[in-house]
Every structure is written in C-alpha cells, then in structure tokens.
Chains A and B, each alone.
Chain A
Amino acid sequence: MSALFPLIVEAAVTRRHGKVLVGPVDLTLDAGGATIVIGPNGAGKTSLLRMLHGIARLHSGRIEWACDQDTARARQAFVFQTPVMLRRTVQDNLAYPLRLIGMRRTESRAKAAEMAARIGLEEALGRPATVLSGGERQKLALGRALIRSPDLLFLDEPCASLDGRAMREVEDILTTAVRDGTRLIMSTHNMGQAKRLASDVVFLLGGKIHEQGDAKSFFETPSTAQARAFLKGDIVE
C-alpha cells in the first residue's frame, strides 16, 4: 500500500560531539505493525528514532526508503518526548501541518476540528495550546502528527505523562491508526503497553541493538541475559 517500505538501514551511526549516540544499527522494516523500542535510560531510543526520521545527522551508514527522501519525509510524523506546542490555539496547532502543504484555511480548520474530536480535545479547540495540561499536550501532539495520515509514525514515550484512562485512549487511537495502515515505531518504558501494542521489538543497550525480533517470542523467550533481566525489571548495564 505504501511506497515507503521496505526500510533498509545499514550500519547507521549518529554522533554528537564525537560521541556515538546510537549505532551502528542494521535494521529492515516492512509496512504494517508496530515496532516497540525498549531499553534503559540513555540506551539511545530517542537517538535511534531521530536518526531514522532524519532529524539527527547520519554520520555513516545508510538509511534507504523505498521512495525518494522528500516523499519519505512527507509521509512520516514524529511525536516528541516533550511535545512541542506552537503558540497558537489547539485548532491552529492541529491545522498547521495541513497549512504547510497548502491546504486552505477553512478546510484545514475543519479537519482540525474533526481530529480534535477524535483525540478528545473538542472542548479545547479555541484554547491556546500553551495552557494545556501535560496529558492534553501529548494528545494534541499525537493528533497533529496523525492529521496528514502518515504511513509511518514515530512516538517517543507518548504516554509518559498520561494517567490510565488517557493512556487507554491514546492506545485506542494508535491501534486504529495501525489498522488504517500507519506503521508505528515507538519507544516506551511501559512494558504492559509494549506487550499490548508491539508486533516486533527492538531492545537497545548502550546505543546498539542488543536483541530484536517478533514481539511474542521476545517477551516469552528473550534470548539474551540482559533482555531477560530488563524484562524482569532488574538494572541492566
């Protein structure tokens, strides 16, 4: 359905001030499903997502989409660990990605209103985004990321500041998106959520992919000692 996949990543490395943040990473991803990226703090989850999305510089290796770079980028969206709120109303935040691709104001605002209803922010449409609560910000960022119906959605710990009910709502939105053909690559510290959403898992440790594979077998029979320890909640170095 989408021309984005397969994604082929070969020996991709991102550095910052000479220090390797993540890599070398080898990875092949096909359309559909949800890849959950897990690992301890500082393992490189955020860096991996940013590198794949193309907003962290690739220092060596390659990241190849099935289509050209610009098309690939236009079909992706990213929800950041700390959501970015434009200093505009909720409605204008949601409409912004549509305005960028030239959609007329009235039409984009109508779509924004639809999206607000989908993410449960219809009451807040006219409010400045900067006064939203942490959870509402997460939802707004998610809605804004979904508004162009991306083929691939990156989520960096999207439920970090959500309570149980809001998390459930977000997971429902994500499941619907996956059913509609959006692929997810998501980092999380919540193992319950990882198990509910994952079709496959990437386990990062020290900036490298330590273990990777089908979600069911990873959670039931992790093959490395570190992954076993991490799943048990032990400290992994």
Chain B
Amino acid sequence: MGDLWDGLSQAFFLLVTLDADLVEITLRSLRVTLTALVIATVIALPLGALLAVRRFRMRRFVIAVMNALMGLPPVVVGLIVYLMLSRSGPFGVFGLLFTPTAMIVAQVIIIVPLIASIAHQALRELWSDYHDLLLSLNTNHVQRMSALLWDGRRALLTASLAGFGRAIGEVGAIMVVGGNIDHHTRVLTTAIALETGKGDFALALALGFVLIGLAIAVNLAIHWLTQTEREGRW
C-alpha cells in the first residue's frame, strides 16, 4: 500500500515538473508511432479502397492474409522483423536492428492489416451505396477510389486512430526489435516494463498515465468522429 501511495505521489511530481526522462521517452514514443502511422495509413487506406471497388483474382487471398496478420501476436511480428534485420538476415547490411527504424517497421506491419481491414469494411458499405452512380458516370478505378476515400474520410480517420492506439500501446514487438536502449529506443511501453521490473514505480506510473491519457484522447476523438458522421455533419 505504501509503495503504491509513494509511487503515485512521485508520479504526479514527475508529471507536473515535466521530468526530462519522461518527456524524452514520451516524445520518442510519439515520433516512432506517428511515423509508423503515417506510413501504414498511406499503404492501408488505398489498399482498403482497392479491395472495396475491385474484384481481382488475388482479392480473397489478400483479405485472408490481412486477417491472418491481424491475429498474429505482435511478439511474433517482432521475431520475424528481428530475423529479417539481424546481421545475418536479408536486410542485415542496413544495420537497422535496435534502432527506432526497426521499431517503426514492426509497428507498420502490426497496424497495416488493422487499418486496412477497418477501412475496407467502411468503404465496402459506401461502395454499395455509390456503385450504380459511379458506374453510370463511367468512372475509372482511380476516380472511384478517390471518391470513396474522400467521402469516407471520417471512417478512415477512425481507422487510423485505432491503428495509433494499437501501435502506441504495443510492447512485445518493439521490445524485441528495439532492444529498449536508454536514450535510443526506449519508449513508453518498454520503459514501463523495465521500471516495473526494477521496482521503480514512480516513473512507471507516470509513463502509464501518459499512455492512459493518450488512449482516452484517441477514444474521445473516435467517439466524436462517429457522432458527427451519424448526424450527417461535415
């Protein structure tokens, strides 16, 4: 009980004084995850739109792979990325293992299927609405996909936010490929794991509060977006 109380009060102290370590780790977390999010979004949204408007031969296969990847434990993704990037792996020459880049790669692999799958579901519904009109207007695939991506932007933003939530809170994969190196690859989740292990609950709790804060912010944003969507506001 005393531990918890001490930890909590020290955690608040760290938060309000903007402790240097806390800020550094938080900013690194945001940088890694936001970079991964941008890359993943650029891949996943067009992929979701393509799956919605086109009936190509590999479509079912791509969807199956996407679903399989979504069910994959992140730590396994981490293992695979580790093997790819390690000195003897196919991408070993780039020396990326234990760098923020490796963590970005792992996060991209984890959230692309998630974002693409949510996007695909939303856009498939929109496409069944739009299908007749866009066919009648003799649109090409690019025009169809851009109409869906633009008019479905609210749902797509929700998909991206879900990806952000997943990536920022992920620990297994980035621990494996990032190595949790101080001042280099230590991020919110890996730092919490480490500090807890060491018994330093103050920093762990403070970092935890930051994570909780981010999670709440993301969920509020999703809630607000769905709300405006339902009310037909723009």
* Chain B residues with CB below 8 A from A89, complex form: 234
Contact A77 B136, beta carbon cutoff 8 Å: yes
A128 and B232 contact, Cβ closer than 8 Å, known pairs A55-B132, A84-B129: yes
Complex formed: what's the CA distance from A85 to B126 in Å?
11
Q: Tally of A-B residue pairs with Cβ under 8 A?
A: 39
Complex formed: what's the CA distance from A88 to B135 in Å?
18
- Could you mark each residue 196-221 of chain A with 1 if its beta carbon is under 8 Å from any beta carbon of chain B, else 0? 00000000000000000000000000
Q: Does B138 contact A (CB under 8 A)?
A: yes
Contact B132 A128, beta carbon cutoff 8 Å: no
Complex formed: what's the CA distance from A77 to B62 in Å?
35
Contact B232 A130, beta carbon cutoff 8 Å: yes
Contact B139 A78, beta carbon cutoff 8 Å: no
Closest to A130 in B: B232
Complex formed: what's the CA distance from A16 to B111 in Å?
39
Complex formed: what's the CA distance from A7 to B146 in Å?
33
Q: Does B233 contact A (CB under 8 A)?
A: yes
Closest to B135 in A: A55
Q: Does A97 contact B (CB under 8 A)?
A: yes
Q: Does A225 contact B (CB under 8 A)?
A: no
Q: Does A87 contact B (CB under 8 A)?
A: yes
Contact B232 A78, beta carbon cutoff 8 Å: no
Complex formed: what's the CA distance from A88 to B233 in Å?
10
Count of chain A residues near B, Cβ 8 A: 21
B138 interface neighbour in A73, A86, A88, A130, Cβ under 8 Å: A73
Closest to A132 in B: B232
* Chain B residues with CB below 8 A from A96, complex form: 137
Q: Does A235 contact B (CB under 8 A)?
A: no
* Chain A residues with CB below 8 A from B138, complex form: 70, 73-74
* Chain A residues with CB below 8 A from B133, complex form: 80, 84, 86
Contact B232 A84, beta carbon cutoff 8 Å: no
* Chain A residues with CB below 8 A from B143, complex form: 100
Q: Does B151 contact A (CB under 8 A)?
A: yes
Q: Which residues on A are within 8 Å of B, measured CB to CB?
A: 53, 55, 70, 73-74, 76-78, 80, 84-89, 96-97, 100, 128, 130-131
Q: 30 pairs across A/B with beta carbons < 8 Å? A: A53-B136, A55-B132, A55-B135, A55-B136, A70-B138, A74-B138, A76-B136, A77-B136, A78-B136, A80-B132, A80-B133, A80-B136, A84-B129, A84-B132, A84-B133, A85-B129, A86-B130, A86-B147, A86-B151, A87-B126, A87-B152, A88-B234, A89-B234, A96-B137, A100-B137, A100-B139, A100-B143, A128-B232, A128-B234, A131-B232
Q: Which residues on B are within 8 Å of A, measured CB to CB?
A: 126, 129-130, 132-133, 135-139, 143, 147, 151-152, 232-234
* Other contacts beyond A53-B136, A87-B152, A131-B232: 17, CB < 8 A: A55-B132, A55-B135, A70-B138, A73-B138, A77-B136, A78-B136, A80-B132, A80-B133, A84-B129, A84-B133, A86-B147, A87-B126, A89-B234, A96-B137, A100-B143, A128-B232, A128-B233
